[in-house]
A and B are shown apart, each in its own frame.
Chain A
Amino acid sequence: MFIVPSLRLLENDESLEYRSNTYIISTVEPNQPQNLGIQLSPALKDKFKNVSSMASLASFPCNIRVYGQNPDEFLLLFVRKDRIILIFNVLIQVLLFFFPFLLQFMLNVINDLIFQNAFNLATFFASNYWNAIILAWTAYILRGLYNIFFKWFYDINILTTNRFIDLDLINLFHHRLEETSILNIEDAKDTQKGIIQSIFNMGDLEVFTASGQTAFNLPNVPLSHKIRDFIMDVVVEERKKVNDARK
């Protein structure tokens, strides 16, 4: 019953989209700035390229579109949690897959050593019912793997020529899209702590807005120091442009 109204909302969402945005969202062809005659410096124009969508960090991607992207707006950077975090989470699921086999082994050992095989566990473990339980567990693990991958994929932060965007897929019924103008960005802080972050050269990045509060948290991102530097370079550059225009 609760699916029907949300599906209807989805249809309405299509019709409510601003026309130019609909066009931008629906196309996935490379949208090179030079093809559109956008005024960018020659050095910057050459930097835009097709990047892997599965990357943790990429600069100047031209094959990725974000909701509400204007024709004269370009992605400068996208960053998500390091792929090593994804691998760790997948490994945990792989280890969890073996849990029923570990349970079977433990129960057999306990039954053998403590109860001298008094309980007839062998019959149960040899039956199809036990195999069915393992299959059900496999289905549960598959669900977890699917969830982990998409939560990693859609937990992404994007810096465009106009905005800083934070897209989060928190759980099945909870996602969030936050954005701020890059002119509102005041400060950025990167922290590298712990053995995992030090070994894999990743860190936690915090981006502060004009209000002085942490607006965006980017945990476990690769090369956080370079991202912080990149973001602040863009902010300084944009502020300079605005100030020059005012003069």
Chain B
Amino acid sequence: MPESDFNQIITNLTSGNPSFPSYIWQVIAAIYFLYILIYAFLQIRQVKVMQKRLSTDADGIMTYVSYGYIFLQFLIFVVTLLML
């Protein structure tokens, strides 16, 4: 790829050029984080199932950790969208 073409692509990607508008970045980020968040909810569901198999006195903490994890993922998602 010629250098000028590469530099043009970089300029298009980072400057909200009409040929690659910035909302495309937001759509890509939204799809990715949707995947991460659905995966996180499924992970928590699996942990709840496992807590039925093995019950310990740390179950309450585990639940809080799980919801903290979801919150953190959501926070990263919002910050990313605001940045784009």
Question: How many chain-B residues does the 8 Å CB contact rule pick out?
Answer: 41
Q: Which residues on A sit within 8 Å (CB–CB) of B72?
A: 142
Q: Which residue of A lies closest to B4 (CB)?
A: A118
CB–CB B14/A175 < 8 A? no
Interface residues of B in 7-58 (CB under 8 A from A): 7, 10-11, 13-14, 25, 29, 32-33, 36, 39-40, 42-43, 45-50, 52-58
CB–CB B83/A167 < 8 A? no
Contact mask for chain A residues 120-161; partner B; CB cutoff 8 A; 1 contact, 0 none: 110110011101100110111011001100100110101000
CB–CB A28/B50 < 8 A? no
Which of A32-40, A58-66, A200-208, A221-229 is found at the contact surface with chain B?
A58-66
Q: Which residues on A sit within 8 Å (CB–CB) of B49?
A: 10, 175
25 inter-chain pairs at a CB distance below 8 angstroms, sorted by A residue, are A3-B42, A7-B45, A28-B59, A53-B56, A53-B57, A53-B58, A66-B54, A66-B55, A67-B54, A118-B3, A123-B10, A124-B10, A124-B13, A129-B14, A132-B29, A135-B80, A136-B29, A136-B32, A139-B36, A146-B43, A150-B46, A154-B53, A156-B54, A172-B46, A173-B46
Whether A132 touches B80, Cβ cut-off 8 Å, given contacts A143-B36, A143-B39, A150-B43, is yes
Q: Which residues on A sit within 8 Å (CB–CB) of B46?
A: 150, 169, 172-173, 175
CB–CB B39/A172 < 8 A? yes
- Tell me the number of A-to-B contacts counted with CB atoms below 8 Å: 119
How many angstroms between the C-alpha atoms of A66 and B73 in the bound complex? 31
Residues of A bordering B, CB below 8 Å: 3, 7, 10, 13, 25-26, 28, 50, 53-54, 63-67, 115, 118-121, 123-124, 127-129, 131-132, 135-136, 138-140, 142-143, 146-147, 150, 153-154, 156, 158, 167, 169, 172-173, 175, 177
CB–CB B47/A167 < 8 A? no
How many angstroms between the C-alpha atoms of A54 and B56 in the bound complex? 10
How many angstroms between the C-alpha atoms of A226 and B55 in the bound complex? 25
Q: Which residues on A sit within 8 Å (CB–CB) of B57?
A: 28, 50, 53, 63-64
